[in-house]
Amino acid sequence: MGLTCYLDLKAAVWDRGTCSGCGACAAVCPADAIRIEEGAATPANIGYCKAETDSVPCGACYDACPRVGPARSPGIGEAVARVSARAAFEIPGRQSGGAVTAVLEHALRADLVDAVVTVSEDRWTHKPVSTLVTDAETLVTTAGSRYNWWVPLLSALKVAVVERKYRRVAVVGVPCVVQAIARMRASENDLLVPYANAIRLVFGLFCTESFDYDRLMEGKLRGEHGVEPWQVRRLDVKGKLEVQLADGNALELPMKELEDCIRPGCATCTDFAAAAADISAGAVGAASGCTTLLVRTAVGKGFVDAAVAAGRLEVCGDVDMGAVERLAARKAARGG
């Protein structure tokens, strides 16, 4: 355990505007002294810190943060397999081919994991919620991408590891979340070891940027386009933001118009393909109706092979890696 405390994290990340909002610091703080309030760009200390107040060695928040240190692009990372894949069963809310849900649904059904830490949303407001899912049926209802948030994405991780004491947890996250878990796994901080030991599988989602909930849903959609959150059926980003409405109409917003909605911490992010995940998933590069899967580790391969063998996941073709590389290079050039 180190002698660093939240003040070091504040100086290195919060005050420099590089916080991604991943929520790792809040999740691992043993004193529950870090919160991210709704609408806030960074976390804040809420009074007590055992390292600062009582000089008890801690530093968990600092050691888990993916934004400590210089931003370096990891490229698209290694993979033992690159496939287009889709769910072999109906998933109404799936974002791409439903492959992420299919692999995790099978993992829960076959008792390969105890729980999945993921991000669901309120169906009326589309506000994202950090969620712990323990049954396959519920997991299917969480399918789909949340592009806009204010939540600390990893807050459900503390519930999984500390409260419920699960020892085989799968986590789904955008690259900043995946990097936070990689930091936990590599750390020698005793306070992070229980998290590292409990995380069995890390599923990374490709990510170019994410949006601030208030600026996108309240400011842009409601304020400028008269669209209420409950009228939105689905959001998708394909070079532009596609907003499908419940009445069957759609709205298309060019990314240029959305620059002021992007979360500030995304500006320095250089990881597109979640290079440190066990499996990475995205829309780009996939065969029609499928998800691109970059299977990176033996653990990841085990979960994918098990879902295919059980008939829950279908491999439907190769991946256009050139398309993936182009988006990754564009993001790496923008950040840093």
Ligand X SMILES: Cc1cc2nc3c(=O)[nH]c(=O)nc-3n(C[C@H](O)[C@H](O)[C@H](O)COP(=O)(O)OP(=O)(O)OC[C@H]3O[C@@H](n4cnc5c(N)ncnc54)[C@H](O)[C@@H]3O)c2cc1C
- Footprint of ligand SF4 on this chain (CB under 6 A)? 9, 13-14, 19-25, 43, 64-67, 174-176, 180, 207, 209-210, 263, 265-266, 269
* Binding site partner of 187, from ligand SF4, ligand X, none, Cβ cut-off 5-8 A by kind: none
Place of tokens 């997991």: 139
* Binding site partner of 108, from ligand SF4, ligand X, none, Cβ cut-off 5-8 A by kind: none
Give the closest residue to 61 by CA, choosing from 7, 118, 129, 117: 7
CB of 119 to ligand X, least distance (A): 4
Query: Residue 202: is it exposed, middle or buried by C-beta count within 10 angstroms (0-12/13-18/19+)?
Result: buried
* Binding site partner of 283, from ligand SF4, ligand X, none, Cβ cut-off 5-8 A by kind: ligand X
By CB under 6 A, residue 143 contacts ligand X: yes
Give the closest residue to 77 by CA, choosing from 278, 307, 318: 278
What 8-state DSSP symbol labels residue 113? Answer: -
By CB under 6 A, residue 42 contacts ligand X: no
* Binding site partner of 9, from ligand SF4, ligand X, none, Cβ cut-off 5-8 A by kind: ligand SF4
Strands 211-212 and 199-205: unpaired
Site mask, ligand X, residues 61-90, x = CB under 6 A? ------------------------------
Residues in the chain: 336
Helices (H), the chain: 6-12, 24-28, 50-54, 60-64, 99-109, 136-141, 155-158, 175-186, 193-198, 213, 225, 298-309, 321-334
CB of 196 to ligand SF4, least distance (A): 15
Quote the CA–CA distance of 128 and 184 in Å, as a whole number. 24
Our CB check for ligand SF4 shows the closer of 43 and 98 to be 43
> What phi and psi values does residue 253 have, to the nearest 5 degrees?
-115, 120
User: If binding means CB under 6 A, how many residues of this protein chain bind ligand X?
Assistant: 33
The window from 56-64, 94-102, 160-168, 301-309 that contacts ligand X (CB under 6 A) reads 94-102
The window from 27-35, 37-45, 166-174, 239-247 that contacts ligand X (CB under 6 A) reads 166-174
CB of 106 to ligand SF4, least distance (A): 26
Of the residues 14, 147, 166, 303, which one makes contact with ligand X according to CB under 6 A? 147
CB of 128 to ligand SF4, least distance (A): 12
Helices (H), 40-160: 50-54, 60-64, 99-109, 136-141, 155-158
Residue 232: beta bridge partners? Answer: 245
CB of 107 to ligand X, least distance (A): 12
* Binding site partner of 67, from ligand X, ligand SF4, none, Cβ cut-off 5-8 A by kind: ligand SF4
Of the residues 4, 20, 84, 120, which one makes contact with ligand X according to CB under 6 A? 120
What 8-state DSSP symbol labels residue 310? Answer: T
How far, rounded to the nearest angstrom, does the alpha carbon of residue 220 sit from its chain's CA centroid? 23
What are the C-alpha distances in Å from 251 to residues 146, 255, 256, 300? Answer: 17, 13, 15, 37
* Binding site partner of 176, from ligand X, ligand SF4, none, Cβ cut-off 5-8 A by kind: ligand SF4
Residues near ligand X (CB under 6 A): 91, 94-101, 118-120, 142-147, 153, 172-174, 205-208, 210, 237, 281-284, 291
